[in-house]
Structure 1
Amino acid sequence: MALSKALLRIAALAVVATSLGGCSFLGINFGMAQLSEKECLMRAMYFESNRSSSEGMLAVGTVVMNRLYDGRYPRSVCGVVGQKNQFAQGVLTKKMTDSGAVLASQMADQVLRGARHPGVANAQHFHTAGLRFPYNNMYYVLEAGGNEFYEKRKPGTF
């Protein structure tokens, strides 16, 4: 009896935590199961690319797909986008409130049909344009949509 009450409390806590704090509880993603691959992709492109640039959205979408097919990241678009500390906080839960959502939807369709930004090439990383970091393994390949896209390479292989 005590065990079942404890399990009910844990289940209730999980429901409350996921409804208040996004889609993760104890490292387990709950909310992503409700989103389609397209919705996860368009949300990443919408929140990460300044919402107005199709080029920037395509570049972000290309990074998501590069990660998906790499094998070191989760094996679904929603898994890649929802991976902790990789994309904008709340990317899978915030509301999309402007016309950029229409463009993100169109661009997500294109990416899911195989479109890729040629300038991104194999890059799996990006950060806000204008920032610079003192690491010697960041090989920049493109600036688009307010972001700079880069590959991580061993020093001297540029």
Structure 2
Amino acid sequence: MKPLTKLALRMGVLSLAAVSLSGCSFLGINFAMNQMSEKECMMRAMYFESNRSSAEGMLAVGTVVMNRLNDARYPKSVCGVVGQKNQFASGVLTKPMTDSGAVLASQVADQVLRGSRHPGVQSAQHFHTAGMRFPYNNMYYVLEAGGNEFYEKRDPRSGRLL
């Protein structure tokens, strides 16, 4: 077999293997994210990041995703925002959703993608598990919901959003 043909065959096998690994990363490309709808990515963020029985918590997480989507510093798609490394729960785009919380997440995702927002979240683009505290003076807390505390990053001197 000619060297070019062998290379083409190997590339074809690698491509097929990568696609068959749906949900895995190959050469830095997340194939699961490419196959998911914006709704599924939103559902997964809300499902894995909030108390699965709390519509309010899910709405708050969804609002943060949309706040980031509307900021030039973040990716320009829901899946891009949710799939950003070290920003949401580990495995958010790959783990199975196994309980009735997925039904609620689907309903709330529809609401968020149609324009619903949690008013308490305001401009917050960040949250962490409720009850944790950090020594930073730029975290301005606006809401606790669904087991999370939501905050805006503000300049401590001027109060302006960062």
Q: Would the TM-score normalized by the shorter structure come out above 0.5?
A: yes
TM-score (norm: length of structure 1): 0.89
Q: Does the CA contact (< 8 Å) of 2:69 and 2:81 recur in 1?
A: yes
Structure 1 residue runs without a partner (length 5+): none
Q: What corresponds to 2:81 in structure 1?
A: 80
The sequence identity of aligned pairs, in percent, is 80
* SS of residue in 2 equivalent to 1:143: strand
Q: Supply the AA of the counterpart residue of 1:125.
A: H
Q: Which runs of 5+ in 2 are unaligned?
A: none
Partner amino acid, structure 2, of 1:88: A
Query: How big is each residue's C-alpha offset from its partner over 1:87-113, in whole Å with a ceiling of 9 and x where there is no partner?
Result: 111111111111111110000000001
Q: Deviations over 1:102-144 (max 9, x none)?
A: 1100000000010000010110011111111111111111111
1:139 aligns with 2:146: no
Inter-partner Cα distance in structure 1 for 2:31 and 2:71: 24
Contact 1:18–1:24 under 8 Å retained in 2: no
1:35-74 matches, within 5 Å, as 35-74=36-75
CA RMSD of aligned residues (A): 2.0
* Larger Rg over CA atoms: 2
Q: Could you tell me which amino acid in structure 2 is paired with residue 97 of structure 1?
A: T
After superposition, give the CA deviation of every residue in 1:41-91 in whole Å (9 maximum; x if it has no partner): 011000100201000000000000001111111111011111111111111
Q: Mapping of 1:1-158 within 5 angstroms?
A: 1-2=2-3, 5-6=6-7, 8-9=9-10, 12-13=13-14, 16=17, 22-158=23-159
Please give the secondary structure, in 2, of the residue aligned with 1:140: strand
Whether contact under 8 Å (1:22, 1:90) holds in the other structure is no
- The alpha carbon displacement at 1:154 in A equals 1.3
- Equivalent AA in structure 2 for residue 140 of structure 1: Y
Letter of the 1:67 counterpart: R
Counterpart contact for 2:62–2:112, Cα < 8 Å: yes
Q: Partners of 1:57 and 1:123 in 2: how far apart? A: 14
Amino acid in the other structure paired with 1:49: S
Distance 1:11 1:47, change over 3 A: farther
Find the aligned partners of 1:37 and 1:96 in 2 and give their Cα distance: 16
Structure 1 segments (4+ residues) deviating >3 Å: 1-23
Per the normalisation by structure 2, the TM-score is 0.87
- Size of the aligned set, in residue pairs, is 158
